[in-house]
Amino acid sequence: MAPTPAAARQPLKLLMLHGYTQSGNLFHAKSRALIKHLQKAFPLHEVSAVYPTGPIHLKPSDIPGYEPSETAETDESIEAYGWWRRSNTANPPLYTGMEDGLASVAKVLKEEGPFDGVIGFSQGAAMAGMVASLLEPSRKEAFAHFAAGEGEEKGLQFPASFSGAGFSHPPLKFAVCYSGFRAPGARYRGFYENPSIQTPLLHVLGTLDAVVDHSRSQALVDACAGDPEKEGNIVWHPGGHFVPSQRPYLDASVQFIRKQLENSNGAAKSEEEEDVNDMDVPF
């Protein structure tokens, strides 16, 4: 059977959010096996991925484990970026610059959307959960509820970048979170509670992940509606803090995305799956 012309295919547009200290270009390289697998698994779709870079340009001192050189005269910036910085001087930790990170994502959604789903790694996976939540129709009321609190229980206001003039984007059909986690403390409850996150999330976690503690990932799982474990939306790989590129874990993402597309379309569509070469590139 002849391949379907690109012009006749349905779009499947993905927003790809990199991890802390990475960039859009680096995440593009690290997730190449995943995108390649998705493109082969969905021959009736025109799969495309957009890789923005976080607005927080990091310095060497922002990198965990950084030790200044005795000969270094300045703390020069490097090609490493984030969606926010974590300030541990506050208890619980404060995400400084997060408004800028959200605004940069909102700009991409506005100018390059609509997107079908979001895929993120580490800090980008945490951001993916937030973005999926913000696009849900009931989220403004949730933020208003928690913003009415007092003291340490007072939550954030709904991000202005997601409600400003000219911003319009439908709810996402899915999110895939590699090594994701929940933002800590009461100030961020609007993302996760009253109601829980309604967008289907797939959580892909490493049993040997020493960067994101399991309890932080579990907190994001617990913030999702339904029973993610019973529904098969938690996948463990026997590795550390990276996006796994072995076939079983690529297939897990394909199956999850296919299920959500079928649910959103109201009808199942059969698409032939093809092999891709394994490419194991840890972060």
Residues acting as catalytic residues: 122, 209, 241
Strands (E), the chain: 10-17, 45-50, 56-57, 81-82, 85-87, 94-96, 117-121, 174-178, 201-206, 234-237
DSSP secondary structure letters along 158-208: PPGGGTSTT---PPPSEEEEES--PPPSGGGGGGTSSS-B-S-EEEEEETT
Q: Which two tokens stand for residue 129?
A: 């959960």
Place of tokens 């800090």: 123
Is the CB of residue 173 less than 8 Å from the CB of residue 150?
no
**Distance between CA atoms of 169 and 15, rounded to whole angstroms?**
13
The first and second tokens of residue 241, run together, are 């803090």
Q: Write down the residue that tokens 């974590």 correspond to.
A: 86
Whole-number Å distance between alpha carbons of 101 and 123:
11
The single residue listed with the structure tokens 């939550």 is 155
Beta strands in 65-168 (DSSP E): 81-82, 85-87, 94-96, 117-121
Angle at 272 between CA 269 and CA 277, to 5 degrees: 135
